[in-house]
Structure 1
Amino acid sequence: MSGRNGLISTAELADILGQPNLRLFDCTTYLEPAPEGSSLPYLAVPGRHTFEAGHIPGADFLDLQAEFSDEDTELRFMMPGVALLSAAFGRHGISSDSEVVLYSIGTPMWATRFWWMLTSLGFENTAVLDGGLDKWKLEGRALETGPAKGHTPATFTAKPKPGFFVDKHATFEATTARNTVVVNALGPQFHKGLEPSRYGRPGRVPGSCNVSAATLLDSATKAFIPLAEAETKFTTQGITRDKRVVAYCGGGISATIDLFLLHRLGYQNLTLYDGSMGEWAKDASLPIETD
């Protein structure tokens, strides 16, 4: 799948369903309001119920928070250690000869998050389904119901790459670094600090620009907008190929939509601030900017 540059269409996926080395995964999580008085910004609810109600035939389900996130932090969805991830991906049958296709419901951000994680571990044979389950269903394609059947466990061999994730200190340094652009993938109202933030102080990382992940998608089909349109959105904000990019959002999820499209456009020096505003907004020692 390397020739697809990370993206696979619904028609292309339909042609390879049933191939023995295909590993197809629904990655959906839902963010639901936290109970009143809770310190959490939201509840992370795995999309297993919607998976069982209808999924692409042969798909397995990946629970990001339960299996693929660091449990030793209050922040949701943080990248865990290599050993934990390797064991989890291996449990789901991913080995060096697997072709992995990822999709989610409503937004591709859960699929692009797993794409980013797998790519950071040196696993290249990964594609995100353009439009996810939404487009698949719009086209009237076949669905399967019931629990995931899973795959025979395999040995996942990680070859971690440096530079895919940065912490708050490196992000702070990036705000004044030459040839570096910090980009916020949240909506403009949150970027400007015009609405209350569920993460803490409203506003943004100082000096960051805004390319909202939602503007990179077709609202009807949930497919990605054409690459030329995406590039215009990035270059308008000063994001060019000669610069390092540090992307963030609320919890390190929607920013991977920006990173996915930048990767497909050929940008090389891409980084995710994993803690994002879930960490930054609560840390009073860090500066925050509003309009």
Structure 2
Amino acid sequence: MAQPSSLITTEQLAAVLSDPDLRLYDCTTYLEPAPPGSHVPYRAVPGDKTFAAGHIPGADFLDLQGEFSDTSAQQFFMMPDVAQLEAAFGRHGLDASKTIVLYSIGTMMWATRFWWMLRSLSVDARVLDGGFDKWKDEGRAVETGASKGYPAATFKAVPHPGFFVDKTIVKARIGDPSTIIVNALGPQYHRGLEPSRYGRPGRVPGSVNVPAATLVNADKTLAPLTDAQAKFTAAGVTRDKNVILYCGGGISATIDLLMLTQLGYDRLTLYDACMGEWARDPALPIETD
């Protein structure tokens, strides 16, 4: 199989780190417990403090919930309107003509979320395989302090329809033989065996389970494509179907989306509100084992 074009290795990034056309971004967010009695599943905390404590030299920091999400929505991390994204990415000097590299700490899912958002706007970006964890473990250069940023740019988005869908579309596709709905959460949550922080335990009826965590190696790099293909094939995810991905908040499912893209699947979409919406809406059906 061809080298995945949406990934970049630590070695490859190190080789271009001084390139003036590189635009490198730390995308980390942390999910902390919600206050007692809160109606939200968690607190979304930007990773600016860990960025200041250590980041890849020259990187800028992107605050997903603060600048790049619809903060008026009831759910975290909802895709905002194009004008907001154009302004925010422009402020951070993101230019589609440059080499754009995204990374995060602890898990690649924050970087893959931005990758999917940019892909929906017709912008190619690459995700650092293994993220900052692998970079640091290899003893590569680390910089501290606040971001120096990049010169502001004029960011013009060209949105592609269909990259994100809502609950109406998901509900309509349940039982549709041309569609397969894939849950990226862990099997215990998919089966409804444990309480869910999102609301009712369980899954979208008829959905299959390919947990994002099973697509990642111990060193936080993505699993080999052959291993990933075997998992998707076993779950019945075939290239002739429309594939709808979901998880808890539209983040970890983007790991599945990146892997499916590298495998050549092209009929992909993300249910953006995910279980954060579905599990709390009694009008929507839910299924458990």
Q: Specify the TM-score bucket, using the shorter chain as the normaliser.
A: over 0.9
CA deviations 1:220-250 (Å, max 9, x no partner) are x100000000000000000011111000000
Give the conservation status (yes or no) of the 8 Å contact 2:190–2:288.
yes
Aligned with 1:227 (options 222, 225, 228): 225
Once the 2 structures are TM-superposed, how far is the Cα of residue 194 of structure 1 from its aligned partner?
0.5
Q: For 2:102, what is the secondary structure of its paired residue?
A: strand
Partner of 1:242: 240
Aligned ranges 1:120-199 → 2 under 5 Å: 120-124=120-124, 126-199=125-198
Q: Does 1:62 align with 2:62?
A: yes
Q: For 2:181, what is the secondary structure of its paired residue?
A: strand
Q: Which amino acid aligns with 1:236?
A: A
Q: What is the CA–CA distance in structure 1 between the aligned matches of 2:194 and 2:211, rounded to whole Å? A: 15
Q: For 1:178, what is the secondary structure of its paired residue?
A: coil
Once the 2 structures are TM-superposed, how far is the Cα of residue 212 of structure 1 from its aligned partner?
0.4
Once the 2 structures are TM-superposed, how far is the Cα of residue 99 of structure 1 from its aligned partner?
1.1
CA deviations 1:128-167 (Å, max 9, x no partner) are 0000001111111110000011011000110100110000
Distance 1:213 1:4, change over 3 A: closer
Query: Any gaps of 5 or more consecutive residues in structure 2?
Result: none
Q: For 1:207, what is the secondary structure of its paired residue?
A: coil
Give the conservation status (yes or no) of the 8 Å contact 2:4–2:262.
no
Q: What is the CA–CA distance in structure 1 between the aligned matches of 2:202 and 2:45, rounded to whole Å? A: 26
Once the 2 structures are TM-superposed, how far is the Cα of residue 3 of structure 1 from its aligned partner?
7.2
Give the conservation status (yes or no) of the 8 Å contact 2:204–2:285.
yes
Q: What is the CA–CA distance in structure 2 between the aligned matches of 1:88 and 1:239, rounded to whole Å? A: 35
Once the 2 structures are TM-superposed, how far is the Cα of residue 179 of structure 1 from its aligned partner?
1.8
Q: % of aligned pairs identical? A: 65
Partner of 2:258: 260
Partner of 1:274: 272
Once the 2 structures are TM-superposed, how far is the Cα of residue 88 of structure 1 from its aligned partner?
0.5
CA deviations 1:194-227 (Å, max 9, x no partner) are 10000000000000000000010012x1000000
Q: Which amino acid aligns with 2:184?
A: A
Q: What is the CA–CA distance in structure 1 between the aligned matches of 2:207 and 2:173, rounded to whole Å? A: 10
Superposed CA RMSD in Å reads: 1.1
* Regions of 4+ moved over 3 Å: none
Partner of 2:102: 102
Q: What is the CA–CA distance in structure 2 between the aligned matches of 1:4 and 1:175, rounded to whole Å? A: 31
Give the conservation status (yes or no) of the 8 Å contact 1:21–1:98.
yes
Query: Any gaps of 5 or more consecutive residues in structure 1?
Result: none
Q: Which amino acid aligns with 1:156?
A: F
Q: What is the CA–CA distance in structure 2 between the aligned matches of 1:186 and 1:80, rounded to whole Å? A: 24
Q: Which amino acid aligns with 1:49?
A: K
Q: What is the CA–CA distance in structure 1 between the aligned matches of 2:163 and 2:133, rounded to whole Å? A: 29
Q: What is the CA–CA distance in structure 2 between the aligned matches of 1:3 and 1:232, rounded to whole Å? A: 18
Q: Which amino acid aligns with 1:204?
A: R
- Between Structure 1 and Structure 2, how many residues are aligned? 288
Give the conservation status (yes or no) of the 8 Å contact 2:184–2:256.
yes
Once the 2 structures are TM-superposed, how far is the Cα of residue 178 of structure 1 from its aligned partner?
2.0
Give the conservation status (yes or no) of the 8 Å contact 1:68–1:84.
yes
Partner of 2:53: 53
Give the conservation status (yes or no) of the 8 Å contact 1:4–1:127.
no
Once the 2 structures are TM-superposed, how far is the Cα of residue 119 of structure 1 from its aligned partner?
0.3
Q: What is the CA–CA distance in structure 2 between the aligned matches of 1:206 and 1:3, rounded to whole Å? A: 35
Q: What is the CA–CA distance in structure 2 between the aligned matches of 1:96 and 1:261, rounded to whole Å? A: 22
CA deviations 1:23-58 (Å, max 9, x no partner) are 100000000001111111000000111111010001
Q: Which amino acid aligns with 2:230?
A: T
Q: Which amino acid aligns with 2:74?
A: E
Q: What is the CA–CA distance in structure 2 between the aligned matches of 1:29 and 1:46, rounded to whole Å? A: 5
Give the conservation status (yes or no) of the 8 Å contact 2:242–2:267.
yes
Give the conservation status (yes or no) of the 8 Å contact 1:69–1:78.
yes
Give the conservation status (yes or no) of the 8 Å contact 2:250–2:274.
yes
TM-score (norm 2): 0.98
Q: What is the CA–CA distance in structure 2 between the aligned matches of 1:236 and 1:4, rounded to whole Å? A: 22
Q: For 2:288, what is the secondary structure of its paired residue?
A: coil
